[in-house]
Amino acid sequence: MRGKTVLVVGGGSIAGRRVPRLLEAGALINLVAPEATTTLSDLAASGEIHWSAREWQPGDGADAWFVLAATDDPAVNAAVAVEAEAARTWCVRSDDAEASDAWTLAQTEFDGVTVGVSASGDPGRAAAIRDSIGAALRSGELAAPRTRGRGRGAGVALVGAGPGEADLITLRGLELLRQAEVVVSDRLAPQELLDQLADDVEIVDAAKLPYGRHTTQEQINAVMVERALEGKFVVRLKGGDGFVFGRGAEELDACLEAGVPVEVVPGLSSSIAGPAAAGIPVTERGVVHDFTVATGHVPPGPQSKVNWAALGAGNGTIVLLMAVKNRAAIAAALLEGGRDAATPVRIVENATTKNQTVRPCTLASLGETEANHPAVIVIGAVAGRGREL
């Protein structure tokens, strides 16, 4: 699909699962839907996909090599499929496998190997076989498919998915994700993981866009508890580690207060993994013996609980998360506290992914240096070592 146009009709959860995989394959996505999930609209805002915010119209697939009909209206899906058939373009209907002239394979990847499974239109069976093959690739032995959801009982798992790349989730996190009946997912969680789930898994989009529209923490807590009390197994999937500026403690408390069984699966925090992916150690023998991780979503001032003066007076590494918007104010506070204006800085964007970008600057120029979400900002001598991976 690399470089080829794909028409996706419908902006719901099915499209939300398929689009990241198509993007990973290099496809050019044209999304046609009056409304879209937060994740899809964010991809459109960043220019990764083109979104026509309207109903499907005849002719929309004229340039497409592949079409995904994923609306909640069977009549629209049928019309899309008929036009694709007339144009001799492969079309997958998400609502009716029998009426579809192509099926989406259940895919898994490991160490450069991609495996696709088709099970004659039975997505649940295909996903189960895919999971078994994936486990065998990772462990070196074949295993029977695990029972999802009710086989393990109702409850909630708070799973940290790692810093960005899908294969950095822990094996325990991946195992629980594959058993989930409901997944409450953040924008920063690897979206490719969702495409590995069976189509009957409920996906709740709890994306929180920086300084944009978002789902409140109270709503997230409520949906987790409600689904678990309905007898379902829920996975709360979020990027990095949920207990590092991820409000994981609030979610844990909500489950405990409601009497819902809960398990915590730590994830690889972007505060350490992000710098490491760019060749930056947060500590280094003979250079620096301490580091501090701070959130920058609140600027220095009365509302911030960070002692910026103390950080400015120290010489340890400073790792900033959620600090893109307030980076100029933070730099000014650190300079006022005593940090040298020439202190090296590295801004690591989209850490561990194919879109990873590293921008070097100094503390004095941090405020005027380009930076985009999501980013980890590293300040200190270790940021000036100049390693290139």
How far apart, in whole angstroms, are the C-alpha atoms of residue 166 and residue 191?
8
CA distance 319 to 181: 36
CA distances from 355 to 93, 191, 221, 320 (A): 31, 14, 32, 20
Q: What is the pLDDT of residue 107?
A: 83
Domain spans of the chain, in order of start: 5-93, 131-265, 271-384
Q: Which is it for the CA torsion 30, 349, 324, 37, positive or negative?
A: positive
Between 380 and 107, the higher pLDDT residue: 380
pLDDT of residue 212: 57
DSSP, residue by residue, 18-75: HHHHHHHTT-EEEEE-SS--HHHHHHHHTTSSEEE-S---TTTTTT-SEEEE--S-HH
Q: Which amino acid is at 375?
A: A
Q: How confident is the model at residue 21 (pLDDT cuts 50, 70, 90)?
A: confident
CB atoms near residue 337 (< 10 Å): 16
The answer on pLDDT for 142 being more than 60 is no
* Average pLDDT score over the chain: 90
Q: What pLDDT is attached to residue 145?
A: 44
Question: Residue 152 pLDDT more than 70?
Answer: no
pLDDT over 60 at 238, yes or no: yes
Query: Which of 265, 281, 291 is CA-nearest to residue 384?
Result: 281
Which position has the higher pLDDT, 39 or 389? Answer: 39
pLDDT at 153 exceeding the cut of 90: no
Q: Within 13 Å and on the Cβ side, how many CA atoms surround 9?
A: 30
Cα(31)–Cα(41) distance, integer angstroms? 10
Give exposure, 20-51, as e/b (b: 16+ Cβ within 10 Å). Answer: bbbbbeebbbbbbbeebbbbbbbbbeeeebeb
User: Domain 5-93 - what CATH class?
Assistant: alpha beta
Of the listed ranges 57-61, 211-215, 311-315, 352-356, the one predicted with least confidence: 211-215
| pLDDT band, very low/low/confident/very high, at 139 (cuts 50, 70, 90) | low
Banded model confidence at residue 154, pLDDT cuts 50, 70, 90: very high
Query: How much is the pLDDT for 211?
Result: 56
- In 3D space, the residue among 19, 15, 353 whose CA is nearest the CA of residue 167 turns out to be 353
Q: How many residues does the structure list for the chain?
A: 389
Q: Residues with catalytic annotation?
A: 186, 208
Predicted local confidence at residue 192, as pLDDT: 87
On the question of pLDDT at 202 being above 70, the answer is: yes
How far CA 55 is from CA of 11, 71, 100, in Å, comes to 11, 10, 21
Q: How confident is the model at residue 359 (pLDDT cuts 50, 70, 90)?
A: very high
* Residue 150 identity: R
pLDDT, tens digit, 9 for 90 and up, residues 278-323: 999 999 998 999 999 999 999 999 999 999 999 999 999 999 999 9
Let me know if the fold of 5-93 is the same as that of 131-265: no
What amino acid is encoded at 76 in this protein? Answer: V
Measured at the CA of 388, the angle between CA 170 and CA 25, to 5 degrees, comes to 55
Backbone angles phi, psi at 329, to 5 degrees: -65, -40
Per-residue pLDDT at 148:
52
Please measure the distance between the N-terminal and C-terminal CA atoms of the chain and give it in whole angstroms: 28
pLDDT of residue 206: 84
Structure tokens at 12: 């719901």
Q: How far apart are CA 70 and CA 92, in angstroms?
A: 8
CA dihedral of 373, 379, 385, 389, whole degrees rounded to 10: -20
Judged by DSSP in three states, 32 sits in strand
Lowest mean pLDDT of 32-41, 70-79, 92-101, name the range. Answer: 92-101
pLDDT above 70 for 268: yes
**Protein fold of 271-384:** 3.30.950
Positions of E strands within 65-112: 66-69, 90-93, 106-110
> How many Cα atoms occupy the beta-carbon half-sphere of 108 within 13 Å?
20
* β-bridge mates for residue 321, sequence order: 295, 376
Give the least confident one: 20-24, 55-59, 139-143. 139-143
- Out of 3.40.50.2300, 3.40.1010.10, 3.40.50.2000, 3.40.50.150, the CATH code matching 131-265 is 3.40.1010.10
Which pLDDT band holds residue 143 (cuts at 50, 70, 90)?
very low
Question: Do residues 153 and 233 make contact, with C-beta atoms less than 8 angstroms apart?
Answer: yes
The two tokens of residue 195 are 């495409």
What predicted TM-score, i.e. pTM, was given to this entire model? 0.70
More confident residue, 25 or 345: 345
How many C-beta neighbours within 10 Å does residue 336 have? 12
**Does residue 190 or residue 4 have the better pLDDT?**
4
Closest CA to 186 of 228, 225, 231, 242: 242
Q: In angstroms, how far is CA 40 from the centroid of its own chain?
A: 12
